Amino acid sequence: MGQQDVHYSDYLQLDKILNAQLPESDKLQQPAHDEMLFIIIHQAYELWFKQLLYEVDSVSGIMKKPSVNDNSPELQTVVHRLSRMVSILKVLVSQIDIMETMTPMDFLDFRDMLRPASGFQSWQFKILEAKLGLKYQHRFGQQYYVSQLRQEQVDLIKQVESERSLIELLNDWLERMPFVDEVKDFWQNYRHTYVTSLASAEQENQAFFDGVFDDASANEERRLSPKACRSALFIMLYRGYPILQLPFQLLNNLLEIDEQLSTWRYRHMNMVHRIIGTRIGTGGSTGRDYLKGALDKHYIFAEIARLTSFLVERRKLPALNAELEGKLGFVHG
């Protein structure tokens, strides 16, 4: 059978999408003009969350493989899709500009009609955080976390939390990188270079360095092992070599994802404070205070970000031997 003609409206299911806005204010015959905007923006958020989940699942699927060639189309695909996630998150941040065209009085026209509905009930966003690596024990406001969700949504989130997250897969991938532990005396030399570069007021960073990179410092609270941290720092230090370009972009995209999520939370917090002040959220949370706590605590890739504390100037980097330079530069004998 030949393929049937596809129509734009049918392909996009526009009949369903464009008839999915049912303002409570219309049902109650108390017209509130801005409720339509409120619904559409949140529906758009949920569609973008769906796409983010689709992308992170594809990235995790690649990272789960026992071996990922650092100069392969697979790693290029990972970097590309993480970059797409960054672009989507920037759109989520920019949508707040549209939301902020709604004044506090505009919102009050329909706010009480929404109870107990709340953005806190976005199970897709909670799943996204869990897939990236935000564990329950690291969450702010655990008493609210699933209190407003339906049981099937709670079950789905718990299932995701039991699976390996992206940061755990990242840890496995970094631990497989051989270079830094292949080079005799490299780590001792780098530690000496770093310690001697510290200003007098930074001497406590010496102990901080050992706490991050020494194998004896491993514990269950860490998301990245000392070996993974050594590999990540090595990538940052020697990213100029061709084979480390994609790994560096991967790490950088993860930091950008964290930054955009943080920016989104910050903008959301300020918007909530501007519109409802210190009142509690429609779902029963503490409103701005909850958002502030989440902003401060919900960094997923913070252990990568803090590695910048241990960088030294390029001119002070320990020289690599010819064999390793060949591996990093695609030189074959």
Please report the pLDDT score of residue 291 as a whole number. 62
DSSP state of 69: -
Which amino acid, residue 111?
R
The identity of residue 170, as a single letter, is L
Two tokens at 122?
């976005």
Annotated binding-site residue? 164: no
Q: CA of 128: how far to CAs of 85, 134, 151, 288, in Å?
A: 11, 9, 18, 22
The reported pLDDT for the residue numbered 275 is 82
Which residue from 106, 114, 165 is spatially nearest to 135, judged by alpha carbons? 165
Separation CA 108–CA 33 (nearest Å): 11
Residue ranges per structural domain of the chain: 33-59+69-110+119-169+181-328
Tell me the pTM: 0.89
Query: CB of 126 within 8 A of CB of 46?
Result: no
User: For every one of its 333 residues, what pLDDT tens digit does the chain have, with 9 covering 90 and above?
Assistant: 678 899 999 999 999 999 999 999 999 999 999 999 999 999 999 999 999 999 999 999 999 988 887 767 999 999 999 999 999 999 999 999 999 999 999 999 999 898 877 777 888 999 999 999 988 766 655 556 677 778 898 899 889 999 999 999 999 999 998 777 777 788 889 999 999 999 988 888 889 999 999 988 878 788 999 999 999 999 999 999 999 999 999 999 999 999 999 998 888 888 887 887 766 555 455 556 666 666 565 689 999 999 999 999 999 999 888 888 888 886 544
pLDDT tens-digit series, residues 221-273: 889 999 999 999 999 999 999 999 999 999 999 999 999 999 988 888 888 87
- Looking from the CA of 327 toward its CB, the CA atoms found within 13 Å total 12
Domain covering 33-59+69-110+119-169+181-328: architecture: Up-down Bundle (1.20)
Q: Is 267 known to sit in a ligand binding site?
A: no
Q: Confirm whether residue 40 is marked as ligand binding.
A: yes
Q: Which amino acid is located at 292 in the chain?
A: K
Tokens representing residue 238 in the block: 């020697």
41 is in an annotated binding site: yes
Alpha-carbon torsion, ordered 289, 295, 300, 305, to 10 deg? -140
Residue 111 labeled ligand binder: yes
* 150 annotated ligand-binding residue: no
Q: Is 17 among the annotated ligand-binding positions? A: no
CA distance linking residue 52 with residue 274, whole number of Å: 28
